[in-house]
């Protein structure tokens, strides 16, 4: 009997662990559209749809969020306990959530209630991953900080900047020393010229996202409008 008492907790722990592993990842799901996917990050446009019940899920990665619209949601844990909706907040609002959070978030609200909208990013690289230094021209400035850019937040995984491209004002040649995701909260057109002279035109729209790979050297100018973005540098 004494031996059985020692075995049961181990079996119970195994069952609990197995049950946790069966929870699906947070994405894909209803209301989520994949915008970008590569070895470093997967970017999702997420709307919490009114009246849609979501499954309990487990976030397998550290996650970054940029909220673009408030809407009330209820968060429920596997044990059934809940967090009621938070009060309205100003946007853009930032989120950093560590991996392994297990819950569901639901907008079980009447028709006509605002639906929460965010751009969410799964950080697929481990926090312990070391990146070798860039072998670039050391005379080039980093892409950020730059004039007009405001640092919003920083932690061990990412830096957030709020930046608006002024119409016709050139951003001089610089190097992106981190992989970068730009989440646009105001639209416009941006022309970029890389170090080899290649010219590209990007049309930014509200809630669109652009990935700029580490090591990119370019200059930029807003050719239409005043695009504004939350710029997320991945460390």
> Residues 112-164: pLDDT tens digits?
999 999 999 999 998 877 677 676 677 899 999 999 999 999 999 999 999 99
Portions of the chain given CATH number 2.60.120.10: 25-123, 150-234
The residue ranking higher by pLDDT, 14 or 207, is 207
Under the phi-then-psi rule, with left for phi > 0, alpha for psi from -120 to 50, and beta for the rest, what region is 100? Answer: left
- Residue 84 is predicted with a pLDDT of 86
> Residues 11-37: pLDDT tens digits?
434 344 444 458 999 999 999 999 999
CATH number 3.40.50.300 given to 150-234: no
Q: 28 is written with which tokens?
A: 């894909």
Predicted TM-score (pTM) of the model is 0.87
CA quadruple 92, 97, 102, 104: dihedral, nearest 10:
0
CATH number 1.10.3720.10 given to 25-123: no
């Amino acid at each position: 009997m004494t031996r059985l008492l020692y075995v049961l907790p181990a079996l119970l722990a195994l069952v609990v662990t197995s049950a946790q592993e069966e929870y699906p990842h947070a994405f894909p799901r209803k209301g989520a559209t994949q915008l970008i996917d590569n070895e470093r990050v997967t970017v999702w446009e997420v709307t919490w749809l009114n009246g849609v019940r979501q499954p309990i899920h487990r976030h397998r990665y550290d996650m970054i969020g940029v909220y673009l619209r408030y809407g009330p949601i209820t968060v429920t844990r596997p044990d059934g306990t809940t967090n009621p909706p938070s009060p309205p907040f100003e946007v853009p609002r930032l989120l950093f959530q560590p991996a392994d959070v297990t819950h569901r978030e639901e907008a079980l609200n009447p028709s006509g209630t605002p639906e929460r909208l965010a751009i969410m990013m799964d950080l697929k690289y481990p926090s312990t991953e070391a990146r070798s230094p860039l072998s670039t021209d050391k005379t080039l400035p980093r892409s950020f900080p730059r004039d007009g850019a405001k640092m919003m937040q920083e932690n061990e995984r990412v830096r957030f900047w709020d930046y608006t491209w002024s119409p016709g004002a050139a951003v001089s040649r610089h190097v992106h020393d981190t992989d970068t995701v730009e989440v646009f909260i105001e639209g416009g057109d941006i022309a970029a010229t890389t170090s080899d002279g290649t010219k590209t035109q990007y049309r930014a729209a509200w809630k669109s996202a652009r990935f700029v790979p580490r090591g990119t050297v370019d200059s930029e100018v807003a050719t239409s409008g005043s695009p504004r973005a939350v710029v997320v540098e991945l460390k």
